[in-house]
Amino acid sequence: MLDKEYQKPRLNLKEKLLALSALQDQLRNCQQCRLALTRNKALAGEGNADSRLLLIALAPGEKEDQEGRMFIGPSGPILDELLQAAALTRDKIYMTNLVKCRLPKNRRPKQDEIDACRPFLDQEIGIIAPAVLVPLGYYATRAILQTYQAPHPAARAEFRELYGQLRLVPHQKIYPLPHPSALLYNREFKPASLKMSEKLAVFARPCKWFPLCPMRRFYEQGKLNPFWVEY
């Protein structure tokens, strides 16, 4: 039979928006780590709460921390260009951060800071219920793969090999991509990044063949493992 967790009813859009608003209230008052002492605004995610895609960046930058919006700094135009490669715009996706507060001087996150924010990210994933998680860059990719107990490299440099590769874990698809900020420092990555981003166009829409699929009847009768449907 199908896994009970897989059969949980998803929230409708109104319920999602109410749940996300409550999450934002929690974040405004969060004092779980040292970043609360230096931030201006803690950011929850933004975008289309009904999107099949949930992009996960690392943390707010200086402008994001001031304005309380995502990707309005130097990486913003690059993100828009990568989305354009998949014929997508920001209003078609949902995006959030692994760490909800700005990292002072854009330093690397500490593990206890990631751990403090992890419950908030878990709540967002549960609310949005995306078909595909798209972690951007090393830290977000590592955290998501750890959350789903998926194999991942020990060395940071080896994570580059995961970018653009779809990972299937129970009831979830994961599609890691480089962080847009990487193109600020090395434009040579741009052609490969654009090519990898093109696949988001496929993931953003339900499979058009599913209504005609000969295996659909077995799936609906609970005789087919959901993993194979996703595969």
Whether 204 is covered by a domain: the verdict is yes
As a whole number of angstroms, the distance between CA 173 and CA 79 comes to 21
Amino acid occupying residue 87: A
3-state helix/strand/coil string of the chain: CCCCCCCCCCCCHHHHHHHHHHHHHHHHCCCCCHHHHCCCCCCCCEECCCCCEEEEECCCCHHHHHHCCCCCCCHHHHHHHHHHCCCCCHHHCEEEECCCCCCHHHCCCCHHHHHHHHHHHHHHHHHHCCCEEEEECHHHHHHHHHHCCCCCCCCHHHHHHHCCCCEEECCEEECCECCCCHHHHCHHHHHHHHHHHHCHHHHCCCCCCHHHCCCHHHHHCCCCCHHHHHC
Range of the domain at 90: 13-230
Is 67 part of any domain?
A: yes
Tokens standing for residue 79: 């993100």
For residue 59, give the CATH number of its domain. 3.40.470.10
- The answer to the question of residue 5 being in a domain is no
pTM of the model: 0.90
Number of domains, the chain: 1
- Residue 6 has what pLDDT? 42
pLDDT of residue 7: 45
- The answer to whether position 1 is within a domain reads no
Q: Residue 3: inside a domain, yes or no?
A: no
Residue 68 lies in a domain: yes
126 within domain boundaries: yes
Position 165 scores a pLDDT of 94
Q: How would you write the pLDDT of the chain (231 residues) with one tens digit per residue?
A: 334 444 456 899 999 999 999 999 999 999 999 999 999 999 989 999 999 999 999 999 999 999 999 999 999 999 999 999 999 999 999 999 999 999 999 999 999 999 999 999 999 999 999 999 999 999 999 999 999 999 899 899 899 999 999 999 888 999 999 999 999 888 888 999 999 999 999 999 987 777 788 877 887 888 887 667 666
Q: Is the residue at 7 inside a domain? A: no
Q: Tell me, what's the pLDDT at 209?
A: 76
